[in-house]
Structure 1
Amino acid sequence: MQVPLIARAKGERGLISQLLGPKYGAFMIMGSLGDSKIEPGLPPLSSIRQVYNKLENVNSDTKIFGVVSNPVGHSKGPLLHNPAFRQTGYNGIYVPLLVDDIKDFFRVYSCSDFAGFSVGIPHKETALSCCDEVHPLAQYIGAVNTIVRRPADGKLVGYNTDYKSFDIETKQESHVSPIAGKLFVLVGAGRAIAFGARSRGARVVIFNRNFERAKTLATAVSGEALPYESLNGFRPETGMILTNASVVGMEPNVDQTPVSKAALKSYELVFDAVYTPRNTRLLQEAAEIGAVVGSGVEMFIRQAIGQFKLFTGGLAPEDFMRKIVLEQF
């Protein structure tokens, strides 16, 4: 005898079985009345209402988008893209997708319902080989942070919106980048940032726990790779620029920092691509010693706007998206 059944997978990986249930015929979703730690994968109803407050409007025609990352719990993408979908009237939902093996993921999630993806750590380089086509800029950088399933033929097309989102603002009326000729120290293998710094005339030095990855990236941008252990002792000159593109300092490990406070005295500008929390320990200590600091929030906004345009094939509500981020993050 066949009996109607609603199945729910538990754990962080099972969260999408809750959020996408209405699309596939479930007449209800479940949530906890308190702390989600009581049962992982079962978030508080208050959280579901805040992020997915029109979940009752999800139907069989809803297109699915999500962030493919590991870890993924820190991502603020759902807080931004879901309100933007509602603002524009686009029938889409954006969900967190905890993925260990991105190639296996795309083999399983191959239907047209899954229309687009943000690609996060550590999958941006591997994602290149998962795409049927790759935009020339993403190919040049060697990393993809956005994948769109083309409606006409179902092919996966890879893009990189990180590259243009990385910029250091200056109030000087000059076409010369403020980082031109500067020694630019990059922590982590942030390919888009490394290429962006190089294109603006900086001298790039890369520190990464995986030294082979650091060397490969350094070669690609005509830079230099040095052992991660020597980072705090690297002080060849003053007035350097530091950018953290690693996960050090990201929630929940907010007490961590990639560079000691004493070593920060050699830098005049410190940028942290981490945006959760908005004001990391690295930025706090850099400000205390008098360096100019920059948060990853602006970079997140810019790359997300670029992604939203690719997801919907149209314009993004830029002012609205910026307001959402600045109010909620």
Structure 2
Amino acid sequence: MLVDDIKEFFRTYTGTDFAGLSVGIPHKEAAVRCSDEVHPLAKSIGAVNTIVRRPIDGKLIGYNTDCEASITAIEDALRERRVANGEALRTSPIAGKTFALVGAGGAGRALAFGAKSRGAQAVIFNRIMRAKVLADAVSGEALPYECLKRFCPQEGMILANASAVGMEPNTDQTPVSKETLRAYELVFDAVYTPRNTRLIQEAAEVGAIVVSGVEMFIRQALDQFRLFTGGLGISPPLMSNH
């Protein structure tokens, strides 16, 4: 359903004939305020992408399945490369790394909190005030989006695009030049329409590990399915102090 006004949507769809809802761009942050209760992780992130109607009282419970989905997709891709090289991993392969994050919306917030939970440092590129709010929440650094073109990544950094740059119909766009991509160890793109964005294609061409938004989309949907059907649901909150 294409929703223009999420508050009006929830005023209209108040029946009990659905188990829950998936929430997409651009409503993930507003969905927090539309939930009767919010899971601690989703509350920390400030974004809800899954709403479950609790059968016992009909209340709407907000969750975030984007966070673990995106971070585990990145971790697994890094582990695969490390194991292939004969390395033994005792901690998250993200620990100690710098995360260059483009975007500070719902997906960006999920990635930033996930990165922090694994011991990574986020550098967030967005409109500066919005970037600063998120950077302060995850002890990261905020830079204006315009600085991304001049940003010189150090070898081994991770690039994560959580903006709409490169999404259909603007498939010719990319947030970072192909030449700059050479310095990144891994490039993740939350955009999954198209599946192989220009960013993903060019990152693969210069030898970076690439993770498509499709991988995140599938993983978050699996957790949504568990929540909708009364399965185990998502893992406990990543950051217990929130």
2:162 paired residue number: 245
Q: Between the two structures, name the one with larger relative contact order (CA 8 Å, sep ≥ 6).
A: 2
Q: Secondary structure at the match of 1:197?
A: helix
2:177 paired residue number: 260
Shift in alpha-carbon separation, 1:191–1:296, aligned structure 2, 3 A: same
Q: 1:177 aligns with which of 69, 92, 102?
A: 92
Encode CA deviations 1:98-143: one digit per residue, 9 max, x unaligned: 1122112111211112431111111111111111111111112211
> Is the 1:233–1:263 Cα contact (8 Å) retained in structure 2?
no
> Is the 2:31–2:48 Cα contact (8 Å) retained in structure 1?
yes
In structure 2, what is the Cα distance between the partners aligned to 1:120 and 1:163?
Answer: 14
1:205 paired residue number: 123
Q: Secondary structure at the match of 1:122?
A: coil
Q: Secondary structure at the match of 1:309?
A: helix
Unaligned 5+ runs, structure 1? 1-96, 317-329
In structure 2, what is the Cα distance between the partners aligned to 1:291 and 1:232?
Answer: 19
Count matched residues: 219
User: For residue 137 of structure 1, what is the amino acid of its counterpart?
Assistant: L
Q: 1:157 aligns with which of 57, 61, 67?
A: 61
Q: Give the RMSD, CA atoms, in angstroms.
A: 1.6
User: For residue 226 of structure 1, what is the amino acid of its counterpart?
Assistant: L
1:315: how far off?
7.2
1:180: how far off?
1.4
User: For residue 185 of structure 1, what is the amino acid of its counterpart?
Assistant: A
In structure 1, what is the Cα distance between the partners aligned to 2:21 and 2:207?
Answer: 39
Matched, 1:135 2:53: no
1:228: how far off?
0.2
Encode CA deviations 1:25-81: one digit per residue, 9 max, x unaligned: xxxxxxxxxxxxxxxxxxxxxxxxxxxxxxxxxxxxxxxxxxxxxxxxxxxxxxxxx
In structure 2, what is the Cα distance between the partners aligned to 1:238 and 1:312?
Answer: 43
Matched, 1:281 2:185: no
2:236 paired residue number: none
User: For residue 131 of structure 1, what is the amino acid of its counterpart?
Assistant: S
Unaligned 5+ runs, structure 2? 234-242
Q: Secondary structure at the match of 2:15?
A: coil
Kindly report which structure 2 residues correspond to 1:13-92, keeping only aligned pairs within 5 A, or say none. Answer: none
1:244: how far off?
0.6
Q: Secondary structure at the match of 1:286?
A: helix
Give % identity: 73
Matched, 1:187 2:102: yes
Q: Of the two, which has the highest radius of gyration? A: 1
Q: Which ranges of 4 or more aligned residues in structure 1 deviate by more than 4 Å?
A: none
